[in-house]
Structure formats: structure tokens, C-alpha cells
Structure 1
Amino acid sequence: MNTESETKSETKSETKRKKFQMPHIYVILFILMALAAISTHLIPAGEFERITGPEGRESIDPESYTQVDASPAGVEEFMLAIPRGLVEAGEVVFFTLIIGGMFMVLRKTGIIEIGVNKLTTAFSTKSTAVIPVLMIAFAAVCGVIGTQELSLVYVPVIIPLLIALGYDSMVAAAVALIATTAGFMTGFLNPINTGLGQQIAEVPLYSGIELRLIALVVILGVGIIYVIRYAKKVQANPESSLVYEEDREKRETYSNPDESKSRRFTPRQKAAGVFLIGFFAILIYGVIAQGWFMLEMSGLFIVMGIVVGMAAGLTAAQVCEGFNQGFREVLVGAIIVGVARSVAVVMEDGQVMDTLIYNLGAVVGQFPGTLSAMGMFMSQLLFNFLVPSGSGQALVTMPIMAPLSDMIGVTRQTAVLAFQFGDGLGNILFPTSGYFMATLVLAGVSWHKWVKFYFPLFLIWAAIAAVFLIIAQVIQWQ
């Protein structure tokens, strides 16, 4: 009898545990969109006048805030928010689709599998070393050019290697996202957040680089240790992986390569490899020297898939089918990007976005002395949920935060750093960040599992950011 009752009790407890399931990301975003719509009925509408900012970009006049007639979201606006979000996030949506298609074509050529075999052999006795090497490289690139979106390029490239070395897709996502975020949020030569923020705040361009480099070393170092600890745990016990089930097919593909296939490149594959290297050289040149972004990179990736695929011996039909297969694999992620954008669409149409930033600025002004910089950091982090774009957030918030810093005894240099930290930390946490959600889909990692992995590091990084801001405030960093 006791055994039977214990069994029933265990069954009930298991049922209770199974009852709670994290809602689908569509559900989460729909709820956020609904809350945004409700907020347009509760928050007074207001707006700042738009003026021409640095390099001809549209900025705001911080002295011009006025309340305007309310335009709350109605049924029609709510109904159209997701389609409009898809349209407004079109660059990211199509970039996600195209990069998924292009990498599927590369997989069909066999180049990736052979390359993975060679790299796995090279790193077989020092597999952990690959993580800091990749993360330092990715952080350095992002610290100079400020393009976190390159995570979308990195993840498909490194997944096969990291899976073959005994890690998982979470490690691949973490290597790309955490490294680029560390480089972005400290941005020692980053034109997108540091450069633009300093221009708006009228601070000498790229001044204060010494403290930013120290912050980069500390933040990136902590990130590397965090990723390595998880990676070693997965390598020692694959079932401890947060994405163990999701990675089943990848493990079969990359951990157990088909021995019947030659591990040497054929002459055509070698030629395709040369083309591939050439295209990546063009990509680097375009991003650094020509200011390319997603539109230009998308076009290059289409040409890359076609040229490399056919050079490796694929027929035109095989190349096309490769693109189609890749499109299907990342379709959900591409749609998520547009759905996430709909939250901001609702608030912009309801004219409450400017009201929020105006009131956030007022709240920051109430913080006592040494905590004023912390108030700026928190307000930037909260606003990042609505505007995850670094340049977009700079153009909206810095015209207010820069003069406000003069009034509350915070140097403008510190105000820029608070903006950088607040913008960067949230970019890989909030589901409204388009490139971040698209990167997770390319990695095959769900948002809620990523949050489970990343949130402890988020808290650690937030504490480190707070320490640096307090130091900057105490020394009146210029």
C-alpha cells in the first residue's frame, strides 16, 4: 500500500512539474505587444522635435518635449502591428533567410564537413583553446566596427566545429553573442555607439579609450571563463547540455562523420574554398571600408552561395534546393524578428515613446550623487527593450542624457559609458532585439533556454558595469 501511494504521489508531483511550460516566443511577444497597446491608453502622448544630428542623422531637441493629442492603439492598429513590424524589420528578416540558405549550400558542397574534420584534428588535444581564441577575435572586431549583427555570420560557421569538439549549440551561440556584446558595450573604437554617443554628447571622439580597454579586458575575461565552464561541463557529460535534444541531429552530422567520404578536398572543392576565402575578404573590406550593412551583406551572400556552390560541382538545381532548405530551417527565426519589432511599432504610433524617455530622464535626475551614473545605466537598459538599435538609442536618449549629466554632476564621458553598458547588456537578453533572436534561431537555441544560460552572466556583467560607472563618477572621468 505504501509503495502504491508513493507511486501515486510521485505521479502527481511529476504532473505538477510538467504543468508549467514556458510559453512559445510568439505568445511572449504577443503579450508584450498587447501591453504596449494598453500603455498607449494610459501614458500621455508626447513628442520631441526632430532635428539634424551628427552626420545628417535625425536626432531630438531635448528642450522641445510637449504633450500632444492622444492617439491610442485601436483594433486596426493592433491588427496591423505584426505585418508592419515584418516590413520595418525587413532587412533583418531577409538577411536571416539568406544567410540560412547560403550556409546550407555550403554544407551541400562538403567543404564545411571536411574543414571541420581538419580543425577537429588540429584542436583535438587542446579543444578548450578554441573558445578564447574565437571570443577574443570576435570581440576585437566588434570593438572596432561595432557590428553585433556579425553574430549571424559567425554562428553557422562555428557550430560544426564546436559540436565536433564535444560542445553544443549553446556554446556556439554564447561564443558569438557574448564576445560581440563584450566588444560592443565597451566599444573602444566603435563608431556605432561610442563614436555617435560622443559626437552627440560633444566629447572628443574616442577619448577615454584607456578605461574602455580595461573594461573590455575585465568583461570579456569574465565572459570567456563563464562560457568555458559551461563548455567543459557539456564535454564531460553531454546530457547536461541545455540543448541536448535539439542537438541530436547536429551530433549525428558533425560528431560522427561518414567514414566512406574522403576527408581530403577534391580539386573542385579546393577551388570553391579559394572563392569562399575571397568572398569573406570582400565582406570584411565592405563592412570596414564601405560601411556595408545587412542589405549589402545579403546580396554578397546570395552571390557567394551560387558561385561557391557551382565551383564545388553542385548543379544549378542543387544550389537552388540548398537555398530553399536553408530558408525553411530559419523561417521561424526570421518571422520572430518581425513580430518583435511590432512592440516598438505600437508604441511609436501611440506617441508614447518620447514620453517614456522624457520621464526616464526626469527620474535619473532624482538619483543622489554617486548613484546618478547608475540611474543613467538603468534607464538606458530599460529603454533598450524598446529600441535595441545602438545608433537609434543614442539619437533618442543622448541628447537628453548629455545635458542632464551636467546638471547632476556626472561627466559626459561617463554618461556615454552608461549608455554603452545599458545598450549592450540588453541586446542579448530582450526578445525585441532582432539580430539576437535571429542568431538564436540559426544556432537552434530557444530564447527561454538562452535566458536560463545567460541571465547569471547578465547579473555579473551588470555588477561589473556598476563598479566601472561608480569609479568613473568618483574620479570625474573625462
Structure 2
Amino acid sequence: MAKTEKKKKFQMPHIYVILFLFSALAAIATYFVPAGEFERVPGPDGRETVDPNSFTQIESTPVGITDFLTVIPRGLIDAGEVVFFTFIIGGMFMVLRTTGIIEIVVDRLANKFSKRSIFLIPILTTVFAVIATLIGTPELALVYIPVIMPLMIALGYDSIVAASVSLVGPVIGFTAGVLNPINVGLSQQIVGLPVFSGIELRLVLFVIALPVGIFFIMRYAKKVQQDPIKNSLVYEEDMEKRELYKHKDNIEMRTMNTRQKFGTVAALLFALVLVYGVLNEGWFMVEMAGLFIFMGIVVGLISGLNATEISEAFTKGFREVLMGAIIIGLARSVAVVLEDGRIMDTIVNALGSVVGEMPSVLGAVGMFLAQLTINFIIPSGSGQALVTMPIMGPLADIIGVTRQTAVLAFQVGDGFAHILFPTSGYFMAALVIAGVSWQKWIRFYLPVFLVLSGIGIVMLIFAQLVQWTG
């Protein structure tokens, strides 16, 4: 017994350690991987893209000790938009919690859905997936998570259920890209295809992949609801949330006072402004963060808080997301190292060359694997498209893969990994807001990712066999 107790289970290193090691390995690689670059030329909508025939080796610039000492601060600076968005959304929702509005609304919704709570999961996941597949904004998970988290906790689920509904649905919709301008529209423009052509096969991917994602979420959610101590991956982390949002069946529900009612209306109006800005004005994190600052102030004042209480609530919210904000900067430092060493283009060129050596029947799968690998260092969908598709388009012609299939390989390789790699800024910010560590998330999501990737590979093989042109 004593010997057994001494045996320690393997524990994943702290996420700080993991990301630091990634940065260190990238720095070491700059001494062995030849530096190189593509020429940048104007692309669709005035964006810069690469000339696929322009790759040349250049003078090596390995990252030394002095340079490496600065990569983490520079990573934080480069990821400043995501870092400060994370702070502000954390502060704003703490203000809403301080007003008491969230607790009252959650209690009412939990009472209404207490006997059929499981149906909320497929409904919300589908809604979020449809939004993402039409407008291409999986980053809206940053807004979804704090909104649905209290309700999911009150209904007996955990933080991973709230995070998975908010992340898995949008990433499936984004990957399928039925009318997604960010991955499909841009990629098809780059390789010379009619924009949004081939919609039928993308719809099939959406219809197959979404129920699979929902199944995994519901299976986990049911286990958590039945026995949270045994089955929840974040039982200890959720203790404070369970106490805060606990649904009290036998106690008369509180009602909102007049000021809280007006505050709720104001919050809903801000939400409508947010939707309009994202859909019609192209708002992203900076604009949303600015809106959230004013939302916290206005809703707080209307609901009865004074200026000091609002300020202290913002500060408390900032503290709760501090660790996650630092993680985002650490993740960005990996790309900073690769850019300093000027080996990012070399890696992209090498992966393209490897794919070019594959038999045509495996070419599409090779493109998927190449895009999946590149996603680790270029987690932005549009950024990856601008770097890789000018190479993958002509390469597809050479190895006998249709350009439509090459776009699909990009979608699948880029999309499902958006919520896998810790180098993805918005994803790590979402985990911070959810209060879920990357290590715990991987335990939940890795099986989902493998199954979804398997579906994507089958679709690619089918597209290759029928020489899909859309």
C-alpha cells in the first residue's frame, strides 16, 4: 500500500511551462532550419499574399539568448488586442454579476428548463454553429461563454459543458464554411474559384459533423449531471461557481427591482448593438471591448451601483482572467520566435514540397496534414489562407487534386484545430473566461477532434475519388 501511494500519476506540466518549451524549441529550430521567405504580393481585397514561385533562402538569423529574453513581452504586445479584450470582458461580466441581474435571470431560466435541460445543448450548439458557418466568427465564443455559463452550472453541468457548447458548435460551423467568407470565400478567391461554389459538399460536412459534436457534448453533460464528483473534469475548479449559481428549488425566487429591470433592458440593447456591429460594421475585439466598457458602466449605474462599486467590480473581473491573459501572450511568443528566425516561410514551403511528393490519391490527405501542422504556427484562418493557398492551389494542379478539394483540405486542416492548439489566441482567451485549463480541455476535446478529423479525411478522399470541382 505504501509503495502504491508513493507512485504518482503523470501530470501535464503547467500551461506556462508547455508554452515556454514550445518557444524554446522554436528558438533552437532557428539554428538548424534554413531561413527563407516568399515575396508578398497584393491579394484579394487588398490583402498581402505570397507568390508561390518566389521562395528563396536568405541569411540565417537565429534567435540568441538576448532576443529570446524578450519574446514573451513581445508576444504579449503582439497579442495585445486579445489580451485586453480578455481583461475587459472579464471586468464587464463581473459588473453584471455585482448588480444581481445574472443571478436572478439564471434562477428563473434554471427553474423553467430544469426538467428538460439536456435539450438546451443541441439547440444552443446548433444556433452557434449556424452563425459561424454563415458569417465565420468562431471568436463569438468569447461572448457566448459568460452568457451561458451561469445557466449551465445552475442546471447541474460544469464549465466544460458551457465551453464546449460555445466552442465546438462554432468551430464545426466555421470549418464546414457553408457561406463563410473568412475561410471558404477568401481561399476560393485566392485559387481562382467562384466564391462559395461547391456548397453542396460543405453542407454535407456540416450536417454530418454537427451531430457528432453534439453527441460528445451531451454524453459528457449527462455523466456530469448524474455524478459531478466522479465525472466532471473540473469539479474542484467549479466549486465557487456551483455555490454562486446554485439553483434553489424550494426557495421563493427573487424578483428584480425597478432599477434592475431597466438595467436588464439596457444590457439587451447593448447586445443588439454588438450583433449589428459584428454583422454590418465588421467589428472585432477592439470595438467589442470598447462597447463592453460602456456596457458595464451604463448597466451598472442604471442597476443601482455607484462609480466606486463599478470600478471595484471591473478590478475583480480583471484579476479573475489575469492568468489567461498572460497565457495568450505566451502562446503568441512561439510565432514571434519563428518570425525572428525567419523560418516560418521555410516550414510552409517544406510542407508543400512533401505534399507534392505524395501519390495523387493521398494528395488531399497530405494537404490536410500540412494545413493542420501550419495551423499551430498560424492559427488565424485568414492568415493561414493568405500564406498557404497560393502554394496549395498550383500544387493541387500538379498532383491531380482539384482546387475545390484543396480548399476543403484547408478548411478541415485549419478549422477543427482552432480549439486544439494553445497558440490560438481567442481559444485560450475563451478557456480563461470559462475557467477551464488547457490540459483539462484537451482531455475532453481530443477524442472529439480525432473523430471530426476522421470525418474530414473521409470527405477529402471522397472528393479526390470523384474529382470534385463543385
Give the shorter-chain TM-score range: over 0.9
Query: Among residues 320, 326, 330, which one is paired with 2:311 in the alignment?
Result: 320
What per-residue deviation string (whole Å, max 9, x for no partner) do you get for residues 123-168 of structure 1?
A: 1111100001110111011111111111111111111000111100
Q: How does 1:151-170 map to 2 (within 5 A)?
A: 151-170=141-160
1:426 Cα offset (Å): 1.3
Match of 1:203 in 2: 193
Matched, 1:110 2:100: yes
Matched, 1:73 2:60: no
SS in 1 for 2:49: strand
Q: How does 1:93-108 map to 2 (within 5 A)?
A: 93-108=83-98
Query: Among residues 458, 462, 468, which one is paired with 1:471 in the alignment?
Result: 462
SS in 2 for 1:21: coil
Query: Among residues 448, 452, 462, which one is paired with 2:453 in the alignment?
Result: 462
Query: Among residues 432, 439, 447, which one is paired with 2:423 in the alignment?
Result: 432
Query: Among residues 205, 225, 231, which one is paired with 1:215 in the alignment?
Result: 205
Match of 1:330 in 2: 321
Matched, 1:178 2:168: yes
1:48 Cα offset (Å): 0.3
Unaligned runs of 5+ in 1: 1-9
Q: Measure the CA separation in 2 of the matches of 1:189 and 1:99.
A: 28
**Conserved? CA contact 2:155–2:247, under 8 Å:** no
Compute the TM-score of the two structures, normalised by the length of structure 2.
0.98
Tell me which amino acid in the other structure corresponds to 1:102.
M
**Conserved? CA contact 2:381–2:414, under 8 Å:** yes
Q: Measure the CA separation in 1 of the matches of 2:254 and 2:206.
A: 39
**Conserved? CA contact 2:110–2:247, under 8 Å:** no
Q: Measure the CA separation in 1 of the matches of 2:412 and 2:283.
A: 25
Q: How does 1:220-231 map to 2 (within 5 A)?
A: 220-231=210-221
Match of 1:85 in 2: 75
Q: How does 1:255-274 map to 2 (within 5 A)?
A: 255-256=246-247, 263-274=254-265
Q: Measure the CA separation in 2 of the matches of 1:276 and 1:378.
A: 44
Q: Measure the CA separation in 1 of the matches of 2:162 and 2:364.
A: 34
Paired-residue identity, %: 62
1:61 Cα offset (Å): 0.5
Q: Measure the CA separation in 1 of the matches of 2:285 and 2:64.
A: 33
Match of 1:246 in 2: 237
What per-residue deviation string (whole Å, max 9, x for no partner) do you get for residues 313-372 of structure 1?
A: 111111111110000000100110011000000001101000000010000111112211
Match of 1:7 in 2: none
Matched, 1:144 2:134: yes
Range with greater deviation from structure 2 (255-264 or 336-345): 255-264
Q: Measure the CA separation in 2 of the matches of 1:285 and 1:473.
A: 40
Match of 2:50 in 1: 60
Q: Measure the CA separation in 2 of the matches of 1:370 and 1:26.
A: 41
Query: Among residues 33, 37, 44, which one is paired with 2:34 in the alignment?
Result: 44
SS in 1 for 2:172: helix
Q: Measure the CA separation in 1 of the matches of 2:112 and 2:360.
A: 54
Matched, 1:190 2:187: no
Matched, 1:29 2:11: no
Matched, 1:277 2:287: no
What per-residue deviation string (whole Å, max 9, x for no partner) do you get for residues 405-428 of structure 1?
A: 111111111111111111112111
Matched, 1:453 2:467: no
Q: Measure the CA separation in 2 of the matches of 1:371 and 1:264.
A: 62
Matched, 1:394 2:390: no
Match of 1:119 in 2: 109
What per-residue deviation string (whole Å, max 9, x for no partner) do you get for residues 111-130 of structure 1?
A: 11111111111111111000
Match of 1:5 in 2: none
SS in 2 for 1:72: coil
**Conserved? CA contact 2:107–2:247, under 8 Å:** no
Tell me which amino acid in the other structure corresponds to 1:58.
E
Tell me which amino acid in the other structure corresponds to 1:222.
V
Tell me which amino acid in the other structure corresponds to 1:401.
M
1:262 Cα offset (Å): 5.4
Q: Measure the CA separation in 2 of the matches of 1:369 and 1:199.
A: 24
1:275 Cα offset (Å): 0.8
Tell me which amino acid in the other structure corresponds to 2:390.
P
SS in 1 for 2:63: coil
Query: Among residues 17, 33, 36, which one is paired with 2:8 in the alignment?
Result: 17
Q: Structure 1's 237 and 291: CA in aligned 2 closer, same or farther, altered over 3 A?
A: same
SS in 2 for 1:59: strand
**Conserved? CA contact 2:328–2:428, under 8 Å:** yes
SS in 1 for 2:415: helix
What per-residue deviation string (whole Å, max 9, x for no partner) do you get for residues 348-407 of structure 1?
A: 110100000001000011111221100000000000000100011001000100111111
CA RMSD of aligned residues (A): 1.2
Q: How does 1:401-416 map to 2 (within 5 A)?
A: 401-416=392-407
Tell me which amino acid in the other structure corresponds to 2:388.
T
Compute the TM-score of the two structures, normalised by the length of structure 1.
0.96
Q: Measure the CA separation in 1 of the matches of 2:382 and 2:365.
A: 21
**Conserved? CA contact 2:108–2:253, under 8 Å:** no
Tell me which amino acid in the other structure corresponds to 1:93.
V
Q: Structure 1's 145 and 111: CA in aligned 2 closer, same or farther, altered over 3 A?
A: same
SS in 2 for 1:42: coil
Q: Measure the CA separation in 1 of the matches of 2:304 and 2:468.
A: 59
1:17 Cα offset (Å): 2.2
Matched, 1:298 2:271: no
What per-residue deviation string (whole Å, max 9, x for no partner) do you get for residues 25-57 of structure 1?
A: 000000000000000000000000011111111
